[in-house]
Structure 1
């Protein structure tokens, strides 16, 4: 482990602002709004604020507020935050982000989970190919192997808890499936989607309704995942070269026809949204991050054995602006001992409703003996 500090040269920020100001805007159909993709009107306003109102220096200091490290595991450089809880018996908890967010996904809940009697030793890594970890795309199962070594060999924990959503869900599920002897409990905010491989005869009515919703959503909003899984390199050239293109692609995932205030709230606010985008920009990891979809897809197409259902106790929280999967769907993959419908929040709940999300994690993990 080597201490790590985010320290981006001013020349990178100057170049960013020049690129934003030199954007060639494509134009948009009259009255397009968000229905054709990211709104050009909104994006122009955001670009102006990005150059003239947003302060990277402020958020760089925020990123450096908590201890960060680099560790080499199996020859791969892994960046992670490591914050010890101040309770007398703090429990180790590994938090894994997804796409298009980053380790910054969890910054609001760090003080909530490291204070008080029911506290945690938080380990928050950047997935390889994301943020300040090495720019290489691995499968979710391969990342789970690295996380197990990070927790047990680098940090020395005999057992630990884990939570994740989106890409982090797949990694956390793989951890529980492969390493039940060291994973005490797991928590999820999603558990994948029906992709036509399930036998309808085995599905409940609620699961069939969920499958119909997912099919409709996939055709209207799922283009990003298809591109990532098939032609990630073609996409990477433009996103790595233009900050406005990068922002447009990330925001199109969060829009789904929503209003700008909802989109910003989903990322925790406008400044937090831009900070997350900045992490991709300054590390030039948009290409390697989207390639992870291809690595997972190739492994699946190549006949990789599906993970077995894990017996590790699992908690599940379904937020209202997340796909509403029923408990029966979750029980196909994990040992559900806790299932809760949340009152507010969406895909990035740790940013949008941090108090509720932190309370859910604390309540679940401290209920597991």
Structure 2
């Protein structure tokens, strides 16, 4: 399945809000985990029945529901009923090719963006969709598969580090988004190191292998750019959102996050331009190498043209060629050939062509 766009064929012709999973199934069975916490207490559960989610909702605590595996549409539908989530939102959650977006509703805020990681073996950027439904005292995160990047956030909750346990659901949403954006920076840094190393290789040895690497990195940077630029729009919208769910104390953190993702976008654009420059340098180097080869061939051809002319005259079959019966004609002939060649070489050097 293409990474830049997912096929919507399964949902073609269906009514808006139809729950159809679009993407690759990455888990055999869905997993639902719950973390319910406040400043004094933390409880963590793994549940099998979606209906149990509401048991852990309390006005004075934050309930984080993590859903892993989006292929089970029945679970997603039931969660939508329990938390009054609009069918169009559920449709976006199930479409793993959904563009990053931000939407406000009466009871919640909906966010969708990509979690990125750089696979050093395949040298590809891998993406998993993250959807967040943010309510006043709860946060539901929908994942294609279990991800490790949020483990530090869970450790902060468990060890009561930072202000996450004192904050509300909006600060938890900020912590998750901050982790996602930090991971964008890590991906860009890993690709950027390889791109910068290519610059010297392009000048020293512009081989077909270098061209292949430039093309591959250009594709991956374009994928990063396609993902990160709309994510910046999402975070800007969130930072300027006037909604009671987003408390005033969280606004400075969201504005700082806006600066961080702007830095990620600028870095992506810089590496994209650098790769374009490297491609131009590669083409120029190949062109210069071809010009050098053509120059040498042209010089040789220019030297041999008059020699061929002379040899052609004395290679004719006319009987009366005066020089043919001269005793030293052979040596005289070679002397003329050598003299013409030497004079032409000296002329080419004087002109700077050799």
The TM-score with structure 1 as length reference comes to: 0.22
Higher helix share: 2
Relative contact order, higher structure (CA 8 A, sep 6+): 1
Under a length normalisation based on structure 2, what TM-score does the superposition of the two structures give? 0.23
